[in-house]
Each structure stands twice: as structure tokens, then as C-alpha cells.
């Protein structure tokens, strides 16, 4: 897959794109919250009443509003189009079906159910988009040198200070992400955005699924630490990625890593 078009932007343009993308995602998330609140009294509203008609109008207006956010033009439009085509190519078909369901719904509770599904799908996609741009911005802001960084992706892992750490797939994605965020911890929610399976696992209202997903993320961290110990000849229980902070997130100890790299 070719690199995202925003990877060629300078830092200021990239920061502005991330701001706009994040604002759009936040707006969609707020609208989703409004829909969830309005759904509560829907089943208790009698038909052919002013309240029923008002809720129906609100639902239609929300549907139009989120549709405009989905297709709006602006600074990130070309980037959004690339993101949809390359990262979530199957989701537009789902959006179209959900939109059609909204337009065809006759009963108020069906209308709000369809609307909630539609807004949730759009909000999730917009947040994924903002997070993808943020990853590129992190690389700009936190790398020692954006042209010759101390960390680079390789075919069979991530190269740190010239030393290859052999990790693959999702583990490589997480290690690369941690290299971009050495100034702040990365929580379960931060890391889950790197995997749709993880993201879905934390989104569902099921404690067993959530705990299983968190366990998978911890396993990934353990595998990364194991690979780091092997690459830098560390002690058996020595970890360069540790759980820190009040919000309990993981950080790669960049300074200690550099010492072992010398």
C-alpha cells in the first residue's frame, strides 16, 4: 500500500489537518451521544403528538447533519478519500445501507435505532482517520530527526538506533507506535486503535470480551519486551516498556534504550 498523502506534509500543515479531522470526529461523537439520549424516551412517546413529531424532525436533521460531515469538503477531503479507499474500503457500502435504513424507517423507534447505528459507524471511521493523521504527526514531533529518525520500520521488525528488533505484524505496529510516543504513556484505548479487532473488543459492552482484549494487548507488550531483551542483551526480567502513570499506560524508556544501544 502506498503511503498516505499527508505523510508528505510539513509539520504545520499536518498539525492543522489533524486538528480539523479530530474536531470532526469529536463532533460526530457528541452527536452520537445526543442520539443515545434522545432514544431513551422514544418508546414512551405516543404517535400523532407534538413530542413525537418533534423527535422525528430531530432525527431527520441529525441524519442530514452527519451525512454532511461525512462528505464535506475542506483541507482534509483528499486525505479522507484516500483513507476510505485504502484503509476502510468496505465501510462505505455499510454506510449506504445504514443511510437507506434511516430513510426507509417509518416508526420512530426504528428511525432512532437506524440513526444511532449510522452515526456510530461514521463517528468511528472519523476517529480512525484522525488517529491515522496523529500517528504521522507524532513521528514529526517526537523523532530526533524526522529525516533520519532513531527508529524505522523494517520488513521483519523495527530498527532502533540501528539495531533490528524482530517483531512482526501487530507487535511491530505497537512497538513503532510506542517509539512515536516516548513522552507520554499509551493506554489500552490508545493501543487498541492500532487494531480493529482490539478496538471492537474494547467498544463492546461485555466485560469478558474487554478483559480478553486487554489480555491480548498485555501479551503483545510482553512479546515486545522479550524481543527487546534479545536484541539488546538485557537481563531476563528487564523491561524497556513499562506500565506507568496515573492513567496506567505503557512507555518505552527511550533514554535507557539509548544507553544499551551504545
Mind listing the domains of the chain with CATH numbers? 5-137 (no CATH), 143-261 (1.10.10.10)
User: Which is more confidently placed, 228 or 153?
Assistant: 228
Spatial CB neighbours of 170, under 8 Å, sequence gap ≥ 6 = 194, 195, 220
Q: What is the pLDDT of residue 114?
A: 83
Q: What is the pLDDT of residue 64?
A: 84
pLDDT at residue number 73? 65
Quote the distance between the C-alpha of residue 120 and its chain's center.
14
Q: Pick the most confident of 144-148, 183-187, 211-215.
A: 211-215
Mean pLDDT of the chain: 84
Alpha-carbon gap, residue 18 to 15, rounded angstroms: 5
pLDDT at 171: 94
Examine the pLDDT at 72 and tell me if it is beyond 50: yes
Q: Using pLDDT thresholds of 50, 70 and 90, give the confidence band for residue 141.
A: low
Of the listed ranges 9-13, 25-29, 47-51, 159-163, the least confidently predicted one is: 47-51
Residue 146: the pLDDT is 45
- Answer yes or no: are the C-beta atoms of 224 and 171 closer than 8 Å: yes
Is the pTM higher than 0.95? The answer reads no
- What whole-number distance in Å separates Cα of residue 5 and Cα of residue 81? 10
What radius of gyration do the chain's Cα atoms show?
22
Q: Which of 148, 165, 229 is nearest to 174 (CA)?
A: 165
DSSP 88: -
> pLDDT at position 242, please?
93
Specify which of 108-122, 132-146, 213-227 reaches the highest per-range mean pLDDT.
213-227
Q: Which three cell numbers stand for residue 122?
A: 461514521
Report how far apart, in Å, the C-alpha atoms of 153 and of each of 62, 69, 209, 232, 249 are: 42, 34, 31, 17, 23
Amino acid at each position: 500500500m502506498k503511503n498516505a498523502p499527508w505523510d508528505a506534509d510539513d509539520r504545520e500543515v499536518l498539525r492543522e489537518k489533524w486538528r480539523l479531522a479530530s474536531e470532526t470526529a469529536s463532533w460526530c461523537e457528541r452527536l452520537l451521544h445526543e442520539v443515545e439520549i434522545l432514544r431513551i424516551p422514544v418508546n414512551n412517546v405516543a404517535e400523532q403528538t407534538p413530542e413525537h413529531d418533534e423527535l422525528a424532525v430531530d432525527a431527520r436533521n441529525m441524519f442530514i447533519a452527519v451525512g454532511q460531515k461525512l462528505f464535506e469538503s475542506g483541507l482534509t477531503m483528499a486525505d479522507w478519500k484516500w483513507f476510505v479507499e485504502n484503509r476502510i474500503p468496505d465501510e462505505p457500502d455499510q454506510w449506504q445501507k445504514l443511510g437507506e435504513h434511516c430513510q426507509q424507517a417509518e416508526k420512530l423507534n426504528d428511525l432512532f435505532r437506524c440513526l444511532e447505528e449510522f452515526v456510530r459507524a461514521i463517528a468511528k471511521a472519523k476517529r480512525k482517520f484522525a488517529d491515522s493523521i496523529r500517528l504521522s504527526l507524532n513521528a514529526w514531533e517526537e523523532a530526533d530527526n524526522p529525516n533520519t529518525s532513531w527508529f524505522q520500520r523494517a520488513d521483519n521488525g523495527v530498527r532502533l538506533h540501528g539495531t533490528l528488533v524482530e517483531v512482526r505484524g501487530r507487535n511491530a505496529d505497537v512497538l513503532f507506535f510506542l517509539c512515536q510516543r516516548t513522552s507520554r504513556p499509551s493506554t489500552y484505548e490508545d493501543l487498541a486503535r492500532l487494531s480493529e479487532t482490539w478496538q471492537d473488543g474494547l467498544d463492546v459492552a461485555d466485560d469478558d470480551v474487554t478483559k480478553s482484549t486487554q489480555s491480548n494487548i498485555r501479551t503483545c507488550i510482553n512479546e515486545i519486551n522479550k524481543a527487546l531483551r534479545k536484541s539488546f542483551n538485557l537481563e531476563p526480567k528487564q523491561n524497556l516498556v513499562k506500565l506507568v502513570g496515573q492513567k496506567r499506560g505503557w512507555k518505552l524508556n527511550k533514554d535507557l534504550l539509548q544507553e544499551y544501544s551504545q
